[in-house]
Amino acid sequence: MIHIEKIDAKNVWDVIDLKLKREQKHFVASNKTSIIQAYTAIGTACSAFPFAVYNDKKVVGFLMVCYNEGAFYEIYGEVPPSALVNNYSICRIMIDKKYQGRGYGRATMQAALDFIKTWPCGVAEYCEISYEPENKAAKNLYASFGFVENGEMDCDEVVAVLKL
């Protein structure tokens, strides 16, 4: 049974130890980087919600949901994809290489959307997600939840949105 729990002092090291296949590493920031980004987002216009993904009592993956205001991107002098502004995003999702292909990614996506629908930052119209064009596993997974590419790019990643 897959469930998500907030990152805390107990599970953070298990999350940092999770591994991807060599050819997947460039698809997603390291979990250490993501947790640092979540910490440094505190007090900014981006709210980040990092989670450990559990199969029963075992940590098998990492998930980060964000709620973004445009101002967050202004820090970098960049224009955000319009789908990001005042909307939720599933900004990180990964399953450890040992546990891929067992339905855990799909269950994690469902857990992310269930969390978003508790509206932790208020009601929003869209959930945004982005991926490298060659990341077929991610593209197929997101499309199966109804995410549709909207023609925007986030740096070199394709943007897709789901109407909530």
Amino acid 151 reads G
Asked if 73 and 80 touch (Cβ cutoff 8 Å), the reply is: yes
Q: Which residues in the 108-147 window bind ligand COA by CB under 6 A?
A: 131, 135-138, 140-141, 144
Say whether residue 54 binds ligand COA (CB under 6 A).
no
Asked if 71 and 65 touch (Cβ cutoff 8 Å), the reply is: no
Please choose, out of 30-38, 41-49, 72-80, 103-111, the segment that lies near ligand COA by the rule CB under 6 A.
103-111
3-state secondary structure of 2: strand
- Nearest-approach distance from CB 92 to ligand COA, in angstroms: 7
Q: Which residue has the closest beta carbon to ligand COA? A: 105
User: Which of 95, 116, 127, 158 touches ligand COA (CB under 6 A)?
Assistant: 95
- DSSP string covering 5-49: EE--TTTHHHHHT----GGGGGGS--HHHHHHHHHHHTTSSEEEE
Q: Which residues bind ligand COA (CB under 6 A)?
A: 20, 24, 27-28, 93-95, 100-106, 131, 135-138, 140-141, 144
